[in-house]
Amino acid sequence: MRYGAKLDETCREYLTGGYKNVQRMSQLIDVLLEFSKLSNVEPQREDFDISAVAREILDELKRTSPERRYVFRIADGIMVNGDPKLLGVALNNLLRNAWKYTGKKEETVIEFTATEIAGNQAYFVRDNGEGFDLADADKLFIPFQRLPGSEEFKGSGIGLATVERIIRRHGGRVWAEGEPGKGACFYFTLSAD
């Protein structure tokens, strides 16, 4: 600061707090702009290996916190038909959420695989993190809705809403199961287009 030495401690704290709030607002505006773009993007569908995308994301997360103990279980060769960029954003949000909400565990366990549910292929990300009360599940995919107890975890409140929008643009659906203290599992399906 140019005049920092001339300001008392209280003034410096106010200025620092104001600066941090401006940075947060700028980041939120960027997130909102990115979120609004998803409504106008037509998915460019192709077949691709979403398992490879999951591995890339988790490798990046490992580099951000090399001190963490973790187990990643990623099924090999899961092929999907969809927009690689958009589905990459959705999977990135799901895996980063799992990483964030397992941060207090002695050992993080994150799984990405697929299964059949009611005759449809469903993909899921499961973790051993904080979990959530199923009574709050309907709030998960609403922008800026934070579940009780999630205040201690940083986030914009838009990540899961972004996932929901991307999956819906692919003709699929997304839902979650969880239990407080026992982790969460986020499922999604895609249409066969």
Query: How far is 142 from 26, CA to CA, in rounded Å?
Result: 21
Q: For the chain, how many structural domains are there in total?
A: 2
Let me know whether 134 and 62 are in one domain: yes
Is residue 4 located within the same domain as residue 55? no
Closest CA to 100 of 157, 142, 143, 139: 157
- Count of residues in the chain: 193
In a domain, residue 87? The reply is: yes
Q: Summarize pLDDT for 89-124 with one digit per residue, the tens.
A: 999 999 999 999 898 899 999 999 999 999 899 999
In a domain, 193, yes or no: no
Secondary structure (H, E, C), the chain: CCCHHHCCHHHHHHHHHHHHHHHHHHHHHHHHHHHHHCCCCCCCCEEEEHHHHHHHHHHHHHHHCCCCCEEEEECCCCEEEECHHHHHHHHHHHHHHHHHHCCCCCCEEEEEEEEEECCEEEEEEEECCCCCCHHHHHHCCCCCCCCCCCCCCCCCCCHHHHHHHHHHHCCCCEEEEECCCCCEEEEECCCCC
In 10 A of CB 15, how many CB atoms? 14
Same domain, 83 and 136: yes
Nearest-angstrom CA–CA distance, 110 and 158: 21
pTM, full prediction: 0.78
pLDDT the model gives residue 25: 55
Residue 136 located in a structural domain: yes
Helix pair 50-64, 84-101: axis angle to 10 deg: 40
* pLDDT at residue number 153: 44
Same-domain status, 86 and 165: yes
Which tens digit of pLDDT belongs to each residue from 57-81?
999 999 988 899 999 999 999 999 9
Domain that holds residue 181: 45-188
Residue 74 in domain: yes
The answer to whether residues 143 and 72 belong to one domain is: yes
Asked whether residue 163 falls in the same domain as residue 117, the answer is yes
User: How much is the mean pLDDT over the chain?
Assistant: 82
117: CATH? 3.30.565.10
Query: Does residue 124 sit in the same domain as residue 84?
Result: yes
What percentage of residues in the chain have a pLDDT greater than 90? 50
